[in-house]
Structure 1
Amino acid sequence: MNKDYFLNRVRLRHIQCFVAVAQERNLGKAAERLNLSQPAVSKTLVELEQMADTVLVKRGRFGARLTPDGELLLSYCVSMLEALEGAQRSLSRGFSGSQESVSVGALPTVAPDLLPAALADFRVQYPQARLQVQVATNNLLLEKLKAGEVDFAVGRMAEPQMMVGVSFEFLYAEPLIAVVRVDHPLLNAAGATLLSEVVAHPLVVSAAGTVPRHNTETYLKERGMHLPEHRLETLAVSVARLVVLQSDAVWFTPAGAARDDLQRGLLAVLPLSFEGTEEPVGLLYRSEAPLNAPGQGLIRILRNTNRRKEGALTFNAPEKPARRR
Structure 2
Amino acid sequence: MEHRVRMRHLRHFQEIARHKSLTRAAEALNTVQPSLSRSLAELEAELGTTLFLRSPQGMVLTAEGTEFLHTIAGPLAQIGDGIARLRGAPERAVVRISLAPAITRILAVAALGEFYKLFPDTRVVIEARMYTEAIHRLRDGGVDFAVGRLLDPSMLSGLSFQQLFSEPIIFVARKDHPLAGKRNVTLDEINQFRIIGPEHNAIIWDEINKFLMMNGRRGFDRLIESSSYEFSRTFLRHSDSIACLSRSIVRPELESGDFVAIDTPVHDMMGAVGVTYRSGTRMSAPARTLFNLFFSKAAELYP
Question: Would you say 1:249 and 2:244 are equivalent positions?
Answer: no
Separation in 2 of the partners of 1:158 and 1:195?
26
**What is the letter of the counterpart of residue 268 of structure 2?**
G
The secondary structure found in structure 1 opposite 2:105 is helix
Which of 160, 175, 190 aligns to 2:168? It is 175
Separation in 1 of the partners of 2:51 and 2:150?
24
Report the alpha carbon displacement of residue 277 of structure 1 after superposing the two structures with TM.
Answer: 1.4
**What is the letter of the counterpart of residue 120 of structure 1?**
G
Structure 1 contact 19–147 (Cα < 8 Å) conserved: yes
Structure 2, unaligned runs of 5 or more: none
Query: Structure 2 matches for 1:308-323, cutoff 5 A?
Result: 308-311=300-303
Question: Would you say 1:235 and 2:227 are equivalent positions?
Answer: yes
Separation in 2 of the partners of 1:216 and 1:60?
34
Separation in 1 of the partners of 2:152 and 2:176?
41
Q: TM-score, normalised by structure 1?
A: 0.84
Separation in 2 of the partners of 1:24 and 1:41?
13
Q: TM-score, normalised by structure 2?
A: 0.89
Q: Which 10-residue stretch deviates more, 201-210 or 43-52?
A: 43-52
Question: Would you say 1:286 and 2:281 are equivalent positions?
Answer: no
Which of 200, 204, 228 aligns to 1:208? It is 200
**Residues 48-67 of structure 1: CA distance to partner in whole angstroms, max 9, x if unpaired?**
12222333334333333334
Separation in 2 of the partners of 1:19 and 1:103?
17
Question: Would you say 1:60 and 2:52 are equivalent positions?
Answer: no
RMSD: 2.4
Which of 26, 34, 38 aligns to 1:43? It is 38
**Residues 153-177 of structure 1: CA distance to partner in whole angstroms, max 9, x if unpaired?**
0123334553221111122222110
Give the aligned partner of residue 12 of structure 2.
17
The secondary structure found in structure 1 opposite 2:267 is coil
The secondary structure found in structure 1 opposite 2:292 is helix
Which of 148, 156, 159 aligns to 1:166? It is 159
**What is the letter of the counterpart of residue 17 of structure 1?**
H
Give the aligned partner of residue 121 of structure 1.
114
Quick one: structure 1 residues 51 and 161, their matched pair in 2 at CA, closer, same or farther if it must change by over 3 Å? farther
Quick one: structure 1 residues 212 and 76, their matched pair in 2 at CA, closer, same or farther if it must change by over 3 Å? closer
Structure 2 contact 145–275 (Cα < 8 Å) conserved: yes
Report the alpha carbon displacement of residue 185 of structure 1 after superposing the two structures with TM.
Answer: 1.4
Query: Structure 2 matches for 1:61-100, cutoff 5 A?
Result: 61-75=56-70, 77-83=72-78, 85-86=80-81, 89-90=84-85, 95-97=89-91, 100=93
Give the aligned partner of residue 103 of structure 1.
96
Question: Would you say 1:225 and 2:225 are equivalent positions?
Answer: no
**What is the letter of the counterpart of residue 211 of structure 1?**
I
Quick one: structure 1 residues 70 and 288, their matched pair in 2 at CA, closer, same or farther if it must change by over 3 Å? farther
Structure 1 contact 157–163 (Cα < 8 Å) conserved: no
Structure 1, unaligned runs of 5 or more: 312-325
Structure 1 contact 153–284 (Cα < 8 Å) conserved: yes
Quick one: structure 1 residues 65 and 159, their matched pair in 2 at CA, closer, same or farther if it must change by over 3 Å? farther
Give the aligned partner of residue 262 of structure 2.
270
Separation in 1 of the partners of 2:71 and 2:222?
47
Separation in 1 of the partners of 2:145 and 2:216?
39
Separation in 2 of the partners of 1:139 and 1:287?
17
Report the alpha carbon displacement of residue 136 of structure 1 after superposing the two structures with TM.
Answer: 1.1
Quick one: structure 1 residues 299 and 156, their matched pair in 2 at CA, closer, same or farther if it must change by over 3 Å? same
Report the alpha carbon displacement of residue 231 of structure 1 after superposing the two structures with TM.
Answer: 2.3
Structure 2 contact 181–263 (Cα < 8 Å) conserved: no
**Residues 170-224 of structure 1: CA distance to partner in whole angstroms, max 9, x if unpaired?**
22222110011111111155x6423222111121101011122232233233333
Report the alpha carbon displacement of residue 310 of structure 1 after superposing the two structures with TM.
Answer: 2.3
Structure 2 contact 78–281 (Cα < 8 Å) conserved: no
Report the alpha carbon displacement of residue 116 of structure 1 after superposing the two structures with TM.
Answer: 0.9
Separation in 2 of the partners of 1:22 and 1:276?
38
Give the aligned partner of residue 196 of structure 1.
188
